[in-house]
A and B are shown apart, each in its own frame.
Chain A
Amino acid sequence: CFPRLCVTYTFSLPILSSKTQKCFSTSTGFYNKEDESATSTDSSAEKASENQEKATPGNSKKNTLNIISEMKVELSSKKKFQLLKKLKSKKQTKDQPESLESASSMFQKATADSKAKRSKPLNPELVEAASAVASSLPFDRKRTVSDLLAQLRKHEEATDAQKRGETTNISNVIADMKIGKRRLNRGVSRPSSQISFDDDDVQGDMLQRGIRSEFAGKSSPTLWDLEFANQIAAVNQKPPRNGFEEMIQWTKEGKLWEFPINNEAGIEDDVEFHEHIFLDKYLEDFTKQGPIRHFMELVTCGLSKNPYLSVKQKAEHIEWFQNYFQEKEELLKEIDDHKKETDLSLERKSLSE
C-alpha cells in the first residue's frame, strides 16, 4: 500500500487502473515519491470541488499527459478569474515539490519527476505538457499555451542566472520599495482586517500604528496624537458578543481575577523577610529615651508582625509618626517642662510632710 498524503479531494478519471491513488493534497508538507515516476496531481481547492477525477499513478509521461488533456476543468466565473491570477503568479514553483496549488504546477510536477534536461530552447516535453494542460482548461487554448511557455522561459532564465551565481538584487528590490504613507483612517477601519483580528489585538494594533507612524517622522508622540490613537481604539472596540468576551474584558479591566488564582497577585514583594521584621533603622531619628521612644518601639513591634503591609507602607507609617512628633515638638517641650515642675512640686510636698 502506498503511503498516503493528506486526503482532501478525490479525482475520477475515465481511465482506471488497478492502482488507483486517492490521495491528493492541496497544502504543503508531504510529497509522495514512489519508485515509479509518481504524479501527485493537485489542483486548487475551488477546482477540486468542481471536478471529480481520479488520477492514476502515471507509469509514463504520455499517460499522464493523456489524462490531463482529458480532464476537463469546469470553473465558475469567479474562480476563472482567480485561476487566471494564479496561473500568472505561480509559475515559479517548478522546483519546489511542495507547492501544489494550481494546474500549472501540475504539469510542472510531471516534468520534474522525469527530470528532463533543460536546454536553452524549451523542452519539447514541456511544450507537450503545456498544450495538454491548455486543452483541459476552459480558456483560449493557444493563448494559454503561449502564456505558459513564456512563463516557463522566464523561470528558466532565472534559474540559470542563479546557477551562474549572480547575486540576487535584494538591495535593489528594497531600494525600490517605498515607505507606505500613513492613511488617515478616521473612524473608517478596514472591515476585513477587523474580522481577522483578535479583540485583544485591535486596540493594541491601532495604538501601535498610531504611535509608530509618529515615531517615523517626529520625535515623540504629542498629546493630540495620543488622544487620536485613543479615539481610534475606542471606536474599534466592539461590545462583547458573549459571556466569554465579557469576562475577558472584565479581566483586563481588573474587575475579575485571573484564573488559576494567583495568591500573590498585586503583591510583588521582592523584599526579604528581615526587612519586614528589623525596623530599627527607621527609629534612628527618634529620641533614645522617653515615652515617645517606648511608644515607637511598640509600633515597630506591631509592624514587624504584620504580614499585610509592604515594607514601603511600614516605612511610611513610621515616617508619619516622625513628622507628627516633629510638628508637636514645642508642645512636647512644654509638656515636659510642666511635668518636671509638677514632679518637683510633688517632691517638695512629700519632703515637707
Chain B
Amino acid sequence: MRHAGKMAASMLGWALRAARQIFPLPCRGQVRGYYVDWRMLRDVKRRKMAYEYADERLRINALRKNNILPKELQEIADKEIAALPRDSCPVRIRNRCVLTSRPRGVKRRWRLSRIVFRHLADHSQMSGIQRAMW
C-alpha cells in the first residue's frame, strides 16, 4: 500500500527522473531514473530517514513533553533526541515541486509549483481544473 504522502512524492520522483540510481527498483530489468536535481535527492533522503525514525522520535518527544515524569528524565530524553541524525527530523523536509523541484510556490494538493500547474492546466492536462471567472 502507499505510504504517507511524503513517500509518494519520492516514488513519483522515481517515475520521472533521478540524479542517480540509489535503490534497485522493484520491477525487473535495469532501470535508471533521475531526480530533477541533487536538492530533490537530498529531500528524498530526508523523507526516508524521517520515516524510519518517526516512531522513535514520537516516543522520545512524548517523554519530553509532559509534566508528570521527573525533569531529570526529560533532560536525558532531550539529549537523546538531539543525538539522533539530523536528517531524521521531519522539519527538514521541504515540499518541493515534483516536476521542477521548485521549493517555493508549491501547491500542496498537486505537489506542483505554480508555473508547472499553470502550464498543465492550460493544456487541459489537469482533470477538473478550469480557468476561473466569476
Contacts and interface: CB of A to CB of B under 8 A. Distances in A.
A291 B62 contact: no
B1 A294 contact: no
A343 to B, nearest CB: 12
Contacts of B62: 299
Nearest to A316: B55
A314 to B, nearest CB: 12
Interface stretch (A2-10, A54-62, A88-96, A249-257): A249-257
| Size bracket, chain A contacts | 20 to 34
A253 B72 contact: no
B59 A255 contact: no
A331 B69 contact: no
Given A265-B1, A339-B70, A233 B27 contact: no
Interface in A308-343: 317, 320-321, 324, 328, 331-332, 335, 338-339
A233 B63 CA distance: 51
Contacts of B55: 317, 320
A321 B59 contact: yes
Contacts of A249: 27
B74 to A, nearest CB: 11
Contact of A331 (B11, B59, B68, B72): B72
Given A299-B62, A320-B59, A335 B68 contact: no
B60 to A, nearest CB: 9
B69 A292 contact: yes
Nearest to A332: B73
A295 B66 contact: yes
Interface string A287-301: 000011011001100
Main secondary structure of the interface of A (DSSP, over half): helix
Interface string B60-86: 001100101110110010000000000
Contact of B26 (A253, A257, A292): A253
A234 interface: yes
A291 B1 contact: no
A298 B65 CA distance: 13
B108 interface: no
B28 A233 contact: yes
Contact of A253 (B1, B27, B63, B66): B27
Interface in A164-181: none
A217 interface: no
Interface string B26-57: 11110000000000000000000000000100
Nearest to A294: B68
A261 B59 CA distance: 33
Given A253-B27, A332-B70, 10 more contacts: A249-B27, A291-B69, A292-B69, A295-B68, A295-B69, A299-B62, A320-B59, A331-B72, A335-B70, A339-B70
18 contacts: A253-B26, A253-B27, A254-B26, A265-B1, A294-B68, A295-B68, A298-B66, A299-B62, A317-B55, A324-B63, A328-B76, A331-B73, A331-B76, A332-B70, A332-B73, A335-B70, A335-B72, A338-B72
Interface of B: 1-2, 11, 26-29, 55, 59, 62-63, 66, 68-70, 72-73, 76
